[in-house]
């Protein structure tokens, strides 16, 4: 590992025609040597000789034990520095200006004749940005330790405890779990104090109805983690809940965008787009994230002005935040490894792990058959498997994943397929397939040829005069359902947890309608089931946009949706009219 790093350093020296590299900062020295020292050490790497690490005498024994390269000690720092540079005949010296004290540069120029000092900070940073396997494993362990600190925070944060006491217990927990040091001062900020992104933990007492930001990190074998969570104490205001939803969705959007080749600025923009939709863009006052490794802040920076392209092996934080003065702050932060299927480090949500595994299997199935596709899925976003795809595949690997994990028998896998076109839309789907996992049933439709269940023609069911409605009861839909009750009298409302299956039950006339006004539905959720519904004479409308305009070239929001049984449409289409009174965007019905 260290030999490979040294080889890369020498490649830089040769390419820039330098005689040697002088490092004086502890992080770069640790990266090359494996020795974690303090101030007053320096590393000299000649282009064509073995490198030497120079340390004070009191550090010699430890350095000699830990360092992967030769170690010598000195009595006088400045004298030793000049002598060693002269001894190696270095006249063109590479340094990292950012980390070398100015007086050292002046010393070298004054004491050594005909010397040139050249900044290669960016070259060294470019090497360190790409983490190898061992580095990523150390960061993973640092994340695991930090998560133990977060668990402790969740256990103790409450009304009456001070921010300082929370920080002390969190840091103690991380220490006993193996953290060598905290890479930065733990931030615990509550209530209006949380509206300061870099608040200083104080003796403020946490109160009921406040949120508490806990920003912490751990260090394992020289590598760090950086995590943030926002914890609510008691019941908080609706505005704060909305802030949290916005930040969580912004973080998910940014993580989903992370892949090799994307600009760091574009990842930042994905988070900002979500916060703009929620109306919080002006309250997001920092970048979306930064690299981590030996230091807690490393390149690349995920911010608006960064043209850096992400590469495999980078590890970055993703930490959008919203800060409203005198009210609260919300920040959520995770550490993400950049790969072809980038993932965040730590305790991934079980349902996300299942989704990722299922998406991988679906994708591999098409690849094994050498089918040229443009693949769109919930967790991975877009994967282009070739330059000239023949088909677009839209996959929802597990709709109802929470049901699946809990053992509730209501979950499905859905796949929709369309011919590839640059302007492909939702209604261009030619084949839709939905597999009902727990009941060994497969539903599918071929556009223009009808819908089928286990290869038999799709059969509707007569559920009598009072079929139930499937939907979600939340603050957006409560008034709508109250009005529906005035028209139809008491009715049965079911929320079953799988939108694609709910729409199938509407297609079979078991339910009169499916009503989802949460503004969360995306094309991947319903692309397959909507074709089955339409091929069964059902109808669908969106309160936010024309469904015919919804692209299938990427994950795209449909927002709210109402799906109607063909049998009950004329009677129940009043639901859309009622909903329009409460949700303002243009209503559009698609036959």
Token digits for 165?
A: 């006491």
- CATH 3.30.540.10 range(s) for the chain read 350-457
- Distances in Å between the Cα of 434 and the Cα atoms of 91, 325, 391, 399, 460 are 70, 48, 18, 10, 16
Which homologous superfamily is 2-128 in? Creatinase/prolidase N-terminal domain (3.40.350.10)
| CATH label, 350-457, candidates 3.20.20.100, 1.10.3720.10, 3.90.1170.50, 3.30.540.10 | 3.30.540.10
Q: Mean pLDDT over residues 449-476, rounded?
A: 78
Q: Is 452 strand, coil or helix?
A: strand
| DSSP bridge pairs for 539 | 564
Taking 60 as the threshold, does the pLDDT of residue 586 lie above it? no
CATH class, domain 468-590, is alpha beta
Which residues lie closer than 8 Å to 127 by C-beta, 6 or more apart? 5, 8, 9, 12
Whether the Cβ atoms of residue 302 and residue 251 lie closer than 8 Å to each other? no
Distance between CA 548 and CA 564 in Å, rounded?
17
* pLDDT tens per residue, range 22-76: 999 999 999 999 999 888 899 999 988 899 999 999 999 999 999 999 999 999 9
Token digits for 362?
A: 């679906």
Give the pLDDT confidence score for residue 278 in this predicted structure. 92
- Distances in Å between the Cα of 399 and the Cα atoms of 239, 316, 414, 415 are 29, 29, 8, 11
* pLDDT tens per residue, range 240-293: 988 998 999 899 899 989 999 999 999 999 999 999 999 999 999 999 999 999
Q: Is 60 strand, coil or helix?
A: helix
How many other CB atoms are there within 10 angstroms of residue 212's CB atom?
25
* pLDDT tens per residue, range 336-389: 999 876 666 765 545 666 777 788 888 889 989 999 999 998 766 778 788 899
Q: Please state which architecture CATH assigns to domain 133-343.
A: Alpha-Beta Complex (3.90)
- Report field, pTM of the whole predicted structure over 0.75: no
Taking 80 as the threshold, does the pLDDT of residue 407 lie above it? no
CA atoms 286, 289, 293, 298: torsion sign? negative
* pLDDT tens per residue, range 460-471: 776 666 678 888
Whether the Cβ atoms of residue 312 and residue 48 lie closer than 8 Å to each other? no
Residue labelled with tokens 């698609």: 590
3-state SS record for 353-393: HHHHHHHHHHHHHHHHCCCCEEEEECCCEEEECCCCCCEEE
Give the pLDDT confidence score for residue 284 in this predicted structure. 96
- CATH 3.90.230.10 range(s) for the chain read 133-343
Give the pLDDT confidence score for residue 344 in this predicted structure. 66
Q: pLDDT class for 1, splitting at 50, 70, 90? A: low
């Amino acid at each position: 590992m260290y030999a490979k790093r040294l080889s890369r350093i020498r490649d830089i020296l040769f390419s820039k025609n330098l005689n040697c590299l002088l490092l004086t900062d502890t992080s770069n020295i640790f990266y090359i040597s494996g020795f974690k020292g303090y101030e007053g050490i320096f590393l000299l790497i000649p282009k064509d000789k073995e490198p030497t690490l120079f340390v004070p005498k009191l550090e010699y024994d430890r350095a000699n034990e830990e360092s992967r390269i030769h170690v010598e000690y000195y009595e006088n720092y400045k004298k030793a520095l000049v002598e060693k540079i002269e001894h190696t005949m270095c006249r063109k010296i590479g340094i990292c200006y950012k980390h070398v004290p100015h007086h050292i540069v002046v010393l070298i120029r004054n004491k050594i004749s005909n010397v040139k000092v050249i900044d290669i900070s960016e070259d060294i940073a470019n090497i360190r940005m790409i983490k190898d396997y061992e580095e990523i494993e150390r960061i993973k362990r640092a994340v695991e330790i930090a998560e133990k600190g977060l668990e402790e925070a969740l256990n103790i944060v409450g009304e009456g405890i001070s921010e300082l006491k929370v920080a002390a217990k969190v840091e103690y927990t991380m220490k006993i779990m193996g953290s060598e040091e905290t890479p930065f001062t733990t931030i615990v900020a509550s209530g209006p104090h949380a509206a300061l992104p870099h608040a200083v933990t104080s003796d403020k007492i946490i109160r009921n109805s406040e949120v508490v930001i806990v920003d912490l990190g751990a260090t394992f074998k020289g590598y760090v983690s950086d995590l943030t969570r926002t914890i609510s104490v008691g019941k908080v205001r609706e505005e704060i809940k909305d802030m949290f939803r916005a930040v969580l969705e912004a973080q998910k959007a940014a993580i989903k965008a992370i892949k090799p080749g994307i600009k760091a600025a574009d990842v930042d923009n994905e988070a900002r787009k979500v916060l703009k939709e929620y109306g919080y863009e002006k309250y997001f006052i920092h970048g979306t994230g930064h690299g981590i490794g030996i230091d807690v802040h490393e390149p690349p920076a995920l911010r608006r002005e960064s043209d850096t392209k992400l590469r495999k092996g980078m590890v970055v934080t993703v930490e959008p935040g919203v800060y409203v003065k005198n009210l609260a702050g919300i920040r959520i932060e995770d550490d993400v490894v950049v790969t072809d299927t980038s993932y965040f480090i730590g305790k991934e949500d079980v349902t996300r792990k299942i989704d990722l595994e299922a998406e991988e299997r679906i994708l591999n199935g098409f690849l094994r058959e050498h089918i040229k596709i443009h693949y769109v899925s919930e967790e991975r976003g877009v994967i282009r498997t070739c330059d000239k795809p023949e088909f677009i595949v839209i996959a929802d690997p597990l709709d109802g994943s929470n049901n699946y994990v809990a053992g509730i028998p209501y979950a499905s896998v859905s796949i929709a397929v369309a011919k590839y076109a640059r302007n492909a839309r939702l209604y261009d789907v030619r084949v839709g397939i939905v597999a009902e996992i727990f009941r060994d049933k497969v539903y599918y439709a071929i556009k223009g040829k009808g819908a089928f269940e286990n290869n038999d023609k799709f059969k509707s069911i007569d559920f009598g005069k009072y079929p139930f409605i499937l939907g979600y009861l939340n603050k957006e839909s409560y008034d709508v359902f109250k009005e529906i009750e005035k028209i139809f009298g008491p009715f049965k409302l079911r929320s079953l947890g799988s939108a694609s299956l709910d729409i199938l039950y509407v297609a079979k006339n078991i339910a009169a309608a499916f009503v989802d006004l949460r503004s969360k539905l995306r094309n991947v959720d319903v692309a397959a089931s909507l074709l089955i519904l339409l091929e069964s004479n059902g109808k669908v409308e969106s309160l936010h946009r024309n469904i015919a305009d919804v692209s299938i070239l990427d994950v795209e929001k449909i927002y709210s949706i109402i799906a109607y049984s063909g049998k009950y449409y004329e009677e129940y289409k009043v639901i859309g009219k009622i909903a329009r009174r409460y949700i303002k965007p243009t209503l559009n019905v698609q036959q």
